[in-house]
Amino acid sequence: MFLWQAVALGLDYTLVPDWPAPPRTAAGTASAWNLIQVPGAAVDSRGHVLVLHRGAQPILEFDSAGKFIRGWGDGLFSEGKVMAVAAADRAADASGYSAVYGPAGCTACGAHSIRVDAEGNVWVVDAPGHVIYKLNAQGKAILTLGQKGVPGMSPTNFNLPTDVAFAANGDVYVSDGYGNPRVVKYSRAGKYLSQWGSRGSGPGQFQLPHNLVVDSRGRVYVSDRDNRRVEVFDSDGKFLSEWATGGVSALWMTREQRIWTGGVLRDLDGKEVARLPGDVGTAHGMAGTAAGDVYVGQLNGAVQKFKRR
């Protein structure tokens, strides 16, 4: 799509400078946020932006103008860190990822994804902890999927999970992700319903199911990052189609039923309709508002806001 076509559709975006607002030093001068890595962002029911980063107080809350509200989440995430396994060291048909723990990790290195469901609950994924938490507005865990520190490939265990998504009826989908090549489906109450996926590059297979979103029809879109594509499934895991997207990490479904695949906005057939300006090549997680503004978390330690013009 040409720029003039995107503008005609109202899909032109501009980077908002100095977002979030710079913190202040003890002397009252402007400083910079030390965010280490920013694997995700989410927008809550009040329009506040939840920035997930790998450091102290791993969930930072800002208003839409970038004013800092509060930080929280200490102790929530493990210190393990997902690492790639060299091809020469992998067993046949094995995952290309593992995790290191202890001093080789870092504070809150387990933080991998953050999402907000339709009821305003905050969901966070601790990848090397093998667990997903559903948190209420006070930050209290009210549902846990997986068992912390216990990897596996069962209805109750994950191996380095990556993301979580929600259907309109409340069903929950988990991409289980770095260690296992599958998507797991649960009811809103956390009851196991089904799963699909195997390791490979064919239709319905995964090398790294990294992010996922669900449209209003119940179709599930999965970024199979290492196969450089997005795969589309029905609600029960039947393979429908795939799009060549490059090695995209981040997905976000807009209110208008378009999908951000990293810095590229697509319709539900995979056709490009807009792009974010600048370099968002390390986009790891993203979220948007009803007005169309977009927040991007990057592993280079940046969080960016793009405003829809």
Per-residue pLDDT tens over the stretch 167-191:
999 999 999 999 999 999 999 999 9
Mean pLDDT over each residue of the chain, to the nearest integer = 94
Contacts for 75 with CB less than 8 Å, ≥ 6 apart = none
Residue 165 has pLDDT above 90, yes or no: yes
- What domain count does the chain have? 1
Return the pLDDT at 5: 45
Structure token pair of residue 309: 């013009």
| First-to-last C-alpha distance (Å) of the chain | 17
CA distance 142 to 140: 6
| Cis peptide preceding 23, ω within 30 of 0 | no
Q: 7 vs 234, which has greater pLDDT?
A: 234
- CATH label of the domain that carries residue 176: 2.120.10.30
CA distance 205 to 215: 20
Return the pLDDT at 10: 55
Residues 82-129 have pLDDT tens digits of 999 998 998 888 999 999 998 888 889 999 999 999 999 999 999 999
Which amino acid would we find at residue 3? L
**Separation in Å, CA 71 to CA 35, 77, 116, 304:** 12, 14, 17, 18
Contacts for 134 with CB less than 8 Å, ≥ 6 apart = 117, 121, 122, 123, 141, 142, 143, 144, 145, 190
- Please spell the DSSP secondary structure of 11-71, one letter per residue: --EEEPTT-SPPPB-TTS-B-----S---EEEE-TTS-EEEE-SSSS-EEEE-TT--EEEE
Closest CA to 309 of 47, 11, 65: 11
Q: Which domain holds residue 7?
A: 3-308
For residues 230 and 224, the answer to whether their CB atoms sit within 8 Å is yes
**Rounded mean pLDDT of 235-261?**
97
Return the pLDDT at 131: 98
Residues 36-94 have pLDDT tens digits of 899 999 999 999 999 999 999 999 999 999 999 999 999 999 999 999 999 899 888 89
Q: What percent of the chain has pLDDT over 90?
A: 89
For residues 19 and 305, the answer to whether their CB atoms sit within 8 Å is yes
Sign of the C-alpha dihedral computed for residues 225, 125, 108 and 56 taken in this order: positive
Query: Using alpha carbons only, how large is the chain's radius of gyration in Å?
Result: 18
Return the pLDDT at 147: 97
Number of H helices, E strands in the chain: 1, 26
**Rounded mean pLDDT of 7-31?**
87
Contacts for 100 with CB less than 8 Å, ≥ 6 apart = 80, 81, 83
Chain centroid offset of residue 182 CA? 16
Residue 253 has pLDDT above 50, yes or no: yes
Residue 1 has pLDDT above 70, yes or no: no
